[in-house]
C-alpha cells in the first residue's frame, strides 16, 4: 500500500501557496513604492516626506532609497 496524500502534505502545500502569495504581494508593493519614489524624483519631491513635508534623513534614504515617508510617519502608517 502506497503512502497516501496526508493532511500534513496538504497543509504544507497550502502554506507554501500562502508564502508565495505574500512574497508576490510584497514584491508588488515594493515595485509600486519604487515607482512612487521615482515619480517623486521627477517632481523634485524626492527625499521629502509625503505626509508631513519634512525632509527624510539621508541615512534613511541610503538604507531605503524608495522611502517616501519619514520614520515617524511610516511608523504611524504601519500601525493603522
Ligand atoms: Zn513625515
Quote the ligand 1 centre to 51 CA distance (angstroms): 5
Looking at the predicted structure, is the pLDDT value of residue 3 above 70?
no
Q: Is the pTM of this model over 0.75?
A: no
Quick check: is 21 in a domain? yes
Quick check: is 5 in a domain? no
Q: What is the C-alpha radius of gyration for the chain, rounded to an integer number of angstroms?
A: 20
Quote the ligand 1 centre to 3 CA distance (angstroms): 57
Q: For 39-69, how does the pLDDT look when each residue is reduced to its tens digit (9 = 90+)? A: 999 999 999 999 999 999 999 999 999 999 9
Domains identified in the chain, total number: 1
CATH code, 73: 1.20.120.910
Quick check: is 50 in a domain? yes
Quote the ligand 1 centre to 56 CA distance (angstroms): 8
Distances (CA, A) of 20 to 17, 23, 33: 5, 5, 20
Quote the ligand 1 centre to 68 CA distance (angstroms): 9
User: For all residues of the chain together, what is the average pLDDT?
Assistant: 89
In which domain, by residue range, is 22 found? 11-79
Quick check: is 3 in a domain? no
The CA distance from 5 to 40, in Å, is: 51
Quote the ligand 1 centre to 80 CA distance (angstroms): 15
Amino acid at each position: 500500500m502506497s503512502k497516501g496524500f496526508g493532511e500534513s502534505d496538504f497543509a504544507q502545500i497550502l502554506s507554501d501557496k500562502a508564502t508565495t502569495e505574500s512574497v508576490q504581494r510584497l514584491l508588488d508593493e515594493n515595485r509600486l513604492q519604487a515607482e512612487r519614489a521615482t515619480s517623486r524624483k521627477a517632481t523634485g519631491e524626492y527625499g521629502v516626506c509625503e505626509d508631513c513635508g519634512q525632509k527624510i534623513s539621508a541615512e534613511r534614504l541610503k538604507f531605503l532609497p524608495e522611502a517616501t515617508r519619514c520614520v515617524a510617519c511610516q511608523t504611524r502608517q504601519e500601525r493603522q
